[in-house]
Amino acid sequence: MLLALTLLLLSIPSFGAPTCDLNSFCYNPNESTKVTLTRNGNELTLKVYDEKNSIGDVHLVQKNGKDIPISCDSNSTTCEAQLSIDQLEKNLPVSIKLWNDQTSDSFPLDSLVPPRQEGLTKDQRRQFSKAHAILMIFGWLLFVPTGFLFARLGRDLFKDETWFGAAVWFQVHRASNFMGIVCICTSMLCIFISQQWTWKGTGSGSKYWTEVHTDLGVISTVLAVAQPINSLFRCGPTHSRRVIFNWAHRIIGIIAYTLALTAIIIAAVQFKRIWNEPLLELVLVCLPIFICLVASIAFTALESERFRSKASFGDSMETPLITDTDENSKPVREPTPHALKAPTVFWAVGVFFCIAVALSLLVVNGYKNV
């Protein structure tokens, strides 16, 4: 009962004297007159208000006799003036003398300090938000598509070489995805720091698209982190159940990338304070997945038996490269689709990098109109 009464009393607003900020000196000689001297860096702002009487000139007086008069319109009930702190002696206290000879207590100028900043400043929060966006861009639009292309098209590249005991495509696939996950997780850390560890997803009361963006981003991040974890428990390549892992790995990757891409598209279209060119950004965001899909479909078709039989690669469509010999030591030429894989993969990775840099520059130049 006592606790409830205490909380009730604390919840009732105070109707007494108004509070005064730490960077201000407030003087209320009577019920109708209010005077405030506020310091902002080296600038001082004097505000005078009298709801019943006309006001007159105000003076800032120091103990050494220095007097700074401030003229106010005698027909007005308000007065505001700007002055520099250099007009006063910083080491001497100052008092406010009103037109009716009422004088405030003296106070040191050093006592007018701005309130201590709690947490990050607005600019720092913006920088962390930009870091979040840039890291997500490099994670999902550069490293993850690179890992996908090497897994899908790079298995025949450098097939006679190994890196640290594993195929080149596998090492690039694993390294790219690992770098992508590092970027994604660091990006999530940046946005939580920017939002001062407050939840912005479903149930937070935030704007609709902010909640959707947050939900999709968190789910895609969890799925992305789950990929290398479930890879630790995969069975051997010749195991009968390896196909189950392969499809599960692919499906989780597709879902994670789809959700992440949707979250980035929402940011590009809806978060116009930081993303200033929605149409251009939308095109750039969708370009990596478009390249991956086109390359995958094209090489799947080119490598199909039906296409091979129609194209007759052994005759008119052979490349001039000799890659192997048959059992009679006759040179066997490499078919065109295989020869195109290397330039396609490396060209695509270069495009991914350019897209990530371009989008990052757009993000860096965000918040221009805020």
**What's 151's domain CATH number?**
1.20.120
Q: Are residues 136 and 277 in the same domain?
A: yes
End position of a domain, from candidates 59, 90, 112: 112
pTM: 0.64
pLDDT at 19: 57
> Do the domain assignments include residue 223?
yes
Q: Are residues 76 and 132 in the same domain?
A: no
The one-letter amino acid at 339: A
pLDDT at 82: 87
Q: Under 8 Å CB-to-CB from 114, ≥6 apart: which residues?
A: 22, 23, 39, 40
Dist. CA 275–CA 266, nearest whole Å: 10
> Do the domain assignments include residue 178?
yes
* Segments forming the whole domain that contains residue 70: 24-112
**What's the average model confidence in pLDDT over 30-40?**
85
Phi first, then psi, for residue 107 (nearest 5°) are -150, 145
Measured on CA atoms in the order 172, 174, 179, 180, is the torsion positive or negative?
Answer: positive
Q: Are residues 127 and 108 in the same domain?
A: no
DSSP 140: I
Dist. CA 12–CA 164, nearest whole Å: 70
> Do the domain assignments include residue 252?
yes
> Do the domain assignments include residue 327?
no
DSSP 115: P
pLDDT at 220: 97
Q: Residues 68-121: pLDDT tens digits?
A: 888 887 677 788 888 888 888 878 888 888 888 888 888 887 777 765 666 788
Range with the poorest average pLDDT among 6-10, 32-36, 119-123 = 6-10
Q: Residues 270-301: pLDDT tens digits?
A: 888 788 788 899 999 999 999 999 999 988 88
Q: Are residues 105 and 239 in the same domain?
A: no
Q: Are residues 149 and 268 in the same domain?
A: yes
Q: Are residues 260 and 299 in the same domain?
A: yes
Q: Residues 307-345: pLDDT tens digits?
A: 666 555 444 444 444 444 444 444 444 445 667 888 899
Share of the chain above pLDDT 70, in %: 83
Range with the poorest average pLDDT among 170-179, 198-207, 236-245 = 236-245
Range with the poorest average pLDDT among 84-88, 194-198, 200-204, 253-257 = 84-88
> Do the domain assignments include residue 67?
yes
> Do the domain assignments include residue 1?
no
Beta strands in 110-215 (DSSP E): 162-163, 166-167
Q: Quick one: pLDDT band at residue 258, thresholds 50, 70, 90?
A: very high
State which H helix or E strand residue 334 sits in: strand 331-335
Write down the mean pLDDT value for the chain: 82
pLDDT at 334: 47
End position of a domain, from candidates 78, 112, 146: 112
What Cα–Cα distance (Å) separates residue 341 from each residue in 237, 282, 312? 24, 27, 19
Dist. CA 260–CA 212, nearest whole Å: 11
- Of 33, 11, 127, 121, which Cα lies nearest the Cα of 78? 33
State which H helix or E strand residue 37 sits in: strand 33-40
Q: Are residues 76 and 201 in the same domain?
A: no
Q: Quick one: pLDDT band at residue 15, thresholds 50, 70, 90?
A: very low
- Of 262, 263, 233, which Cα lies nearest the Cα of 248? 233
End position of a domain, from candidates 66, 84, 112: 112
Q: Are residues 36 and 75 in the same domain?
A: yes
pLDDT at 223: 96
Number of other residues whose CB lies within 10 A of the CB of residue 212: 17
**What's the average model confidence in pLDDT over 178-190?**
96
Q: Are residues 176 and 279 in the same domain?
A: yes
User: How many domains would you assign to the chain?
Assistant: 2
Q: Are residues 154 and 71 in the same domain?
A: no
State which H helix or E strand residue 48 sits in: strand 43-50
Query: 3-state class of 15 per DSSP?
Result: coil
CATH of the domain at 66: 2.60.40
Q: Are residues 187 and 61 in the same domain?
A: no
Q: Are residues 55 and 31 in the same domain?
A: yes
